[in-house]
Amino acid sequence: MSSTLTAAAATSSLTLPSSNSPAHQGRPITTQASLSFDGVVRGEWIKLLSLRSIRWSVLVMLLVSWAGAALLAVAIADPSMVTPESLPALVAQSATFGSNITVLIMGVLGVLAITSEYSSGLILSTLTAVPRRTPVFIAKALVVAVIALSVGALSTFGGGAIAAMIFGDGAFAALVDPEVLVSLLGASLYLMFATLIAFGIGALLRSGAGAIATVVALLFISTLIFQILSVTGWAWVPEVAQWLPSDLGYELSTSQLTPAEFQGVGYWAALGGLAAWAAAMLIPAAVLFKTRDAK
């Protein structure tokens, strides 16, 4: 509580004019706030990192990611299977092995980054300190994006390093292969966009349980539904399915190491698609954050 109030105070500096000055005699006393966007971002940064749930989410995500990379690398580190040609793909595959779980954890982080303030009522303190709501929302989204991208990069590149240590000779050279680096960066960007999508859903619904259920439905259940529909042979099913967030994330993580005939929409189209998904959640969330009651 104290850390949140401190963070809110850091974003606002209030100056009260003296009622004894000639210029203010006989006039109502007004309060003037001197705000800067840097101060709002700094306050949101302090506030978000002070949440125990966020810190635990980051820790669990990293442990799951690195453990998954180690387990898969150990399982496939057979000299008969590992060749110089296959090593880059194996390192990248190991580094992103736990992505289905880690993206869910990052989704929970994105939801909690906004819904925890509503559930505790601390959003009122934030908006009292910074009455202009749009900068507050942008600052929150920016901080969430930076944290998610940083944690995503740490998990994927760290997982790649762990896998390289297990594979041994030549693996670190494979890790710095441009195609591997682009794939790991793509996986990190997917985690960032998934977190922003979850943040937008949390801001729209303002309910932790409801938002997490929606994130699970969007990132996982929708993919399962389209996999079931694929047996129908309907031509529109794969065309729509390839634009789902999870499919776009898979494309970002693997397209650089996949033969062209097996690729989906492509790396850059996948990046644009995920950005569009995030915008589709964040823009209406920002509008509602500005216009509706904070309670």
Got the DSSP string for 114-182? HHHHHHHTTHHHHHHH---HHHHHHHHHHHHHHHHHHHHHHHHHHHHHHHHHHH-TTHHHHHT-HHHHH
Asked if residue 93 is part of any domain, the answer here is yes
Asked if residue 18 is part of any domain, the answer here is no
Q: What angle do CA 223, 227, 233 make, to 5 degrees?
A: 140
Residue 86 phi/psi, 5-degree rounding, is: -90, -15
* Secondary structure percentages of the chain, helix, strand, coil, to 5: 75, 0, 20
Torsion sign across C-alpha atoms 95, 96, 97, 103 = positive
Asked if residue 6 is part of any domain, the answer here is yes
The band of 156, judged by pLDDT with boundaries at 50, 70 and 90, is very high
Q: Among 259, 72, 101, 81, which Cα is nearest to 179's?
A: 259
For residues 253 and 183, is the Cβ–Cβ distance under 8 A? yes
Torsion sign across C-alpha atoms 199, 204, 206, 209 = negative
Query: What SS3 class is residue 14?
Result: strand
Asked if residue 21 is part of any domain, the answer here is no
Q: How far apart are CA 195 and CA 155, in angstroms?
A: 14
Asked if residue 24 is part of any domain, the answer here is no
Report whether pLDDT(175) > 90.
no
Mean residue pLDDT of the chain comes to: 85
Q: Among 203, 193, 41, which Cα is nearest to 113's?
A: 203
Q: 283 or 132: which carries more pLDDT confidence?
A: 283
AA letter at 21: S
For residues 266 and 247, is the Cβ–Cβ distance under 8 A? no
Percent of the chain predicted with pLDDT > 70? 85
Q: Within 10 A of 254 (CB to CB), how many other CB atoms are there? A: 21
Torsion sign across C-alpha atoms 285, 201, 100, 243 = negative
Asked if residue 247 is part of any domain, the answer here is yes
Contacts 24+ apart (CB under 8 A), 229-238: none
The residue assigned the tokens 């793509």 is: 186
The band of 79, judged by pLDDT with boundaries at 50, 70 and 90, is confident
| Number of domains making up the chain | 1
Query: What range does the domain containing 81 cover?
Result: 2-13+32-291
Q: What is the mean pLDDT of residues 2-7?
A: 45
Query: What SS3 class is residue 34?
Result: strand
pLDDT at 80: 73
Asked if residue 20 is part of any domain, the answer here is no
For residues 55 and 63, is the Cβ–Cβ distance under 8 A? no
**DSSP 8-state code for residue 50:** T
Query: What SS3 class is residue 33?
Result: strand
- The pTM score is 0.85
Give, rounded to a whole angstrom, the gap between the first and last alpha carbons of the chain: 18
**DSSP 8-state code for residue 194:** H
Torsion sign across C-alpha atoms 204, 210, 211, 214 = negative
Report whether pLDDT(12) > 70.
no
Report whether pLDDT(142) > 50.
yes
Asked if residue 23 is part of any domain, the answer here is no
pLDDT at 129: 85
